[in-house]
Protein backbone atom coordinates (compact mmCIF):
# COMPACT_ATOMS: atom_id res chain seq x y z
CA UNK A 1 0.00 0.00 0.00
CA UNK A 2 1.40 3.38 -1.01
CA UNK A 3 1.82 5.74 1.92
CA UNK A 4 3.11 9.31 1.98
CA UNK A 5 3.62 10.98 5.33
CA UNK A 6 4.53 14.65 5.45
CA UNK A 7 6.14 16.33 8.44
CA UNK A 8 7.92 19.53 9.36
CA UNK A 9 5.07 22.00 9.16
CA UNK A 10 5.21 24.73 11.80
CA UNK A 11 4.57 28.36 12.67
CA UNK A 12 7.39 30.52 11.31
CA UNK A 13 7.97 34.25 11.11
CA UNK A 14 8.07 36.11 7.79
CA UNK A 15 11.53 35.83 6.29
CA UNK A 16 12.15 32.56 8.07
CA UNK A 17 12.98 29.10 6.80
CA UNK A 18 11.52 25.63 7.16
CA UNK A 19 12.21 22.17 5.79
CA UNK A 20 9.39 19.77 5.02
CA UNK A 21 9.85 16.02 4.68
CA UNK A 22 7.74 13.32 3.08
CA UNK A 23 8.40 9.70 4.01
CA UNK A 24 7.27 7.31 1.29
CA UNK A 25 6.56 3.61 1.44
CA UNK A 26 4.80 0.91 -0.54
CA UNK A 27 6.51 1.54 -3.90
CA UNK A 28 9.98 1.76 -5.46
CA UNK A 29 10.57 5.39 -4.56
CA UNK A 30 13.41 6.16 -6.97
CA UNK A 31 11.38 5.11 -10.04
CA UNK A 32 8.78 7.86 -9.76
CA UNK A 33 8.65 11.62 -9.90
CA UNK A 34 7.45 13.37 -6.77
CA UNK A 35 5.90 16.76 -6.18
CA UNK A 36 4.80 19.29 -3.60
CA UNK A 37 1.38 20.88 -3.94
CA UNK A 38 -0.12 23.37 -1.52
CA UNK A 39 -3.50 24.70 -0.49
CA UNK A 40 -3.77 28.09 1.17
CA UNK A 41 -6.64 28.58 3.65
CA UNK A 42 -9.92 28.80 1.78
CA UNK A 43 -8.18 28.48 -1.59
CA UNK A 44 -7.67 25.82 -4.22
CA UNK A 45 -4.70 23.61 -4.98
CA UNK A 46 -1.46 25.10 -6.27
CA UNK A 47 1.38 23.07 -7.76
CA UNK A 48 4.69 24.08 -6.13
CA UNK A 49 7.52 21.87 -7.34
CA UNK A 50 8.42 18.53 -8.88
CA UNK A 51 11.51 16.34 -9.09
CA UNK A 52 12.37 13.34 -11.24
CA UNK A 53 13.15 9.96 -9.74
CA UNK A 54 16.88 10.50 -10.22
CA UNK A 55 16.75 13.75 -8.29
CA UNK A 56 17.82 15.80 -11.30
CA UNK A 57 16.03 18.57 -13.18
CA UNK A 58 13.66 19.96 -10.55
CA UNK A 59 10.87 22.30 -11.61
CA UNK A 60 9.27 25.14 -9.64
CA UNK A 61 6.29 27.42 -9.86
CA UNK A 62 7.18 31.07 -10.44
CA UNK A 63 5.84 31.95 -6.99
CA UNK A 64 8.52 29.88 -5.20
CA UNK A 65 11.40 29.83 -7.70
CA UNK A 66 14.63 30.99 -6.06
CA UNK A 67 13.25 30.54 -2.54
CA UNK A 68 12.27 26.86 -2.36
CA UNK A 69 14.42 23.82 -3.12
CA UNK A 70 13.04 20.35 -3.72
CA UNK A 71 15.28 17.34 -3.17
CA UNK A 72 15.04 13.65 -2.45
CA UNK A 73 17.07 10.91 -0.79
CA UNK A 74 16.22 7.68 -2.56
CA UNK A 75 18.19 5.66 0.00
CA UNK A 76 15.81 6.93 2.68
CA UNK A 77 12.64 7.01 0.52
CA UNK A 78 12.19 10.64 1.52
CA UNK A 79 11.26 13.80 -0.34
CA UNK A 80 12.16 17.25 0.99
CA UNK A 81 11.18 20.85 0.48
CA UNK A 82 13.55 23.50 1.79
CA UNK A 83 11.67 26.79 2.09
CA UNK A 84 13.47 30.11 2.57
CA UNK A 85 12.40 33.76 2.67
CA UNK A 86 8.91 32.69 3.69
CA UNK A 87 6.07 35.18 3.39
CA UNK A 88 2.49 35.16 4.66
CA UNK A 89 1.42 34.12 1.14
CA UNK A 90 3.22 30.81 1.70
CA UNK A 91 0.81 29.88 4.49
CA UNK A 92 -0.81 26.64 3.37
CA UNK A 93 -1.20 22.95 3.83
CA UNK A 94 1.62 21.34 1.86
CA UNK A 95 0.94 17.98 0.23
CA UNK A 96 3.47 15.51 -1.02
CA UNK A 97 2.30 13.66 -4.14
CA UNK A 98 3.55 10.80 -6.30
CA UNK A 99 3.50 10.78 -10.08
CA UNK A 100 2.27 7.67 -11.89
CA UNK A 101 5.59 7.44 -13.75
CA UNK A 102 8.93 9.25 -13.93
CA UNK A 103 7.78 12.49 -15.50
CA UNK A 104 7.13 15.87 -13.96
CA UNK A 105 4.38 16.79 -16.44
CA UNK A 106 1.92 14.55 -14.70
CA UNK A 107 -1.16 14.04 -12.71
CA UNK A 108 -0.70 12.56 -9.24
CA UNK A 109 -1.92 9.12 -8.26
CA UNK A 110 -1.20 9.24 -4.53
CA UNK A 111 -1.12 12.12 -2.07
CA UNK A 112 -0.25 12.50 1.58
CA UNK A 113 -2.56 14.11 4.11
CA UNK A 114 -0.52 17.28 4.25
CA UNK A 115 1.42 19.36 6.76
CA UNK A 116 0.46 22.89 7.78
CA UNK A 117 2.88 25.77 7.33
CA UNK A 118 1.83 29.03 8.94
CA UNK A 119 3.85 32.17 8.27
CA UNK A 120 2.96 34.87 10.72
CA UNK A 121 4.57 37.35 13.08
Partner 1 sequence: DIQMTQSPSTLSASVGDRVTITCRATESISRWLAWYQHKPGKAPKVLIYQTSTLESGVPSRFSGSGSGTEFTLTISSLQPDDVATYYCQQYNKFSLTFGGGTRVDIK
Point out which residues bind partner 1 (CB under 8 A).
4, 44-47, 50, 59, 61-62, 95, 97, 100, 104-114
C-alpha distance from residue 20 to each of 49, 105, 117 (Å):
13, 22, 9
CB of 18 to partner 1, least distance (A): 21
CB of 100 to partner 1, least distance (A): 8
CB of 107 to partner 1, least distance (A): 4
By C-beta, is 65 or 76 nearer to partner 1?
65
Residue 10 dihedral angles phi and psi, to the nearest 5°: -165, 175
- The alpha carbons of the chain give a radius of gyration, in whole angstroms, of 13
Amino acid sequence: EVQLLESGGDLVQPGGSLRLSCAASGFTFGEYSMAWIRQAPGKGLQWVSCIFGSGFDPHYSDSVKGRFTISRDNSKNTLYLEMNALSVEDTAVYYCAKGPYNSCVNYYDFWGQGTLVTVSS
